[in-house]
């Protein structure tokens, strides 16, 4: 098993980075942290507000700042935002400083898992399925570029994915 004291979870919206990350941190006896929550607590506002007021680029600037810092934290499972791989600076920080796990989900499954939620600004206009498909076309190769391990999550509960991950990482 690789020395897992810094685990970074990447993948699209609805992959389960936040949900699975908490279970995985418990299993590995590490702290759990999340770039999206850190951005919200530092800004004192939620993500839809940041997108409204500062635009996506404003959000990406904030994201880059927290990624630069949080990828240097130790003993942590770090869940990231779905768009974290867009900036090369973030890909370098994630790929170079820890063990990167790509949580993969099909677009159909991403649609099902994000349907009821209003907290993802990119899915609040237009057709969410089409948006998620376009985002995956651009981002899937970027997730894979930095991933040390890829796990498929369709058809498995978050708890089961975390258990499978622990098993797969220890073989």
Ligand X SMILES: Nc1ncnc2c1ncn2[C@@H]1O[C@H](COP(=O)(O)OP(=O)(O)OP(=O)(O)O)[C@@H](O)[C@H]1O
Ligand Y SMILES: O=C(O)C1=C[C@@H](O)[C@@H](O)[C@H](O)C1
Q: Do 170 and 28 meet the contact criterion of CB atoms below 8 Å apart?
A: no
Interaction between residue 82 and ligand Y (CB under 6 A):
yes
Kindly indicate which of the ranges 18-26, 49-57, 70-78, 130-138 contains the residues binding Mg ion, using the contact rule CB under 5 A. 18-26
Out of 8, 21, 32, 36, name the contact with ligand Y by CB under 6 A.
36
Q: How many residues bind Mg ion (CB under 5 A)?
A: 2
List the structure tokens of 139.
């981002």
For 134, which DSSP code?
A: H
Q: Is 120 in the site for ligand X (CB under 6 A)?
A: yes
Q: Cβ(114)–Cβ(120) under 8 Å?
A: yes
| C-alpha–C-alpha distance, residues 167 and 28, integer Å | 11
Q: Within positions 42 to 81, which residues make up the interface with ligand Y, using CB under 6 A?
A: 47, 81
What is the spatial distance between Cα 113 and Cα 69, in angstroms, rounded to a whole number? Answer: 29
Binding site members: 14-19, 36, 60, 82, 120, 139
Residues that bind ligand Y in the complex, under the rule CB under 6 A: 13, 36, 47, 81-83, 120-122
């Amino acid at each position: 098993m690789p020395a897992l004291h810094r685990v970074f979870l990447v993948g699209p919206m609805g992959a389960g980075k936040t949900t699975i990350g908490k279970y995985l941190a418990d299993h590995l006896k590490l702290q759990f942290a999340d770039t999206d929550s850190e951005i919200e607590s530092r800004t004192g506002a939620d993500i839809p507000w940041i997108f409204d007021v500062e635009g996506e680029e404003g959000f990406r600037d904030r994201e880059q700042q927290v990624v630069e810092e949080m990828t240097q934290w130790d003993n942590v499972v770090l869940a990231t935002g779905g768009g974290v791989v867009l900036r090369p600076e973030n890909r370098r920080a994630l790929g170079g400083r820890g063990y990167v796990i790509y949580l993969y989900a099909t677009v159909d499954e991403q649609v099902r898992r994000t349907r009821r939620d209003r907290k993802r600004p990119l899915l609040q206009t237009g057709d969410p399925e089409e948006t998620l498909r376009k985002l995956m076309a651009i981002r899937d190769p970027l997730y894979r570029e930095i991933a040390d391990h890829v796990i498929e999550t369709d058809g498995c509960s978050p708890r089961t994915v975390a258990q499978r991950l622990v098993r797969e990482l220890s073989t």
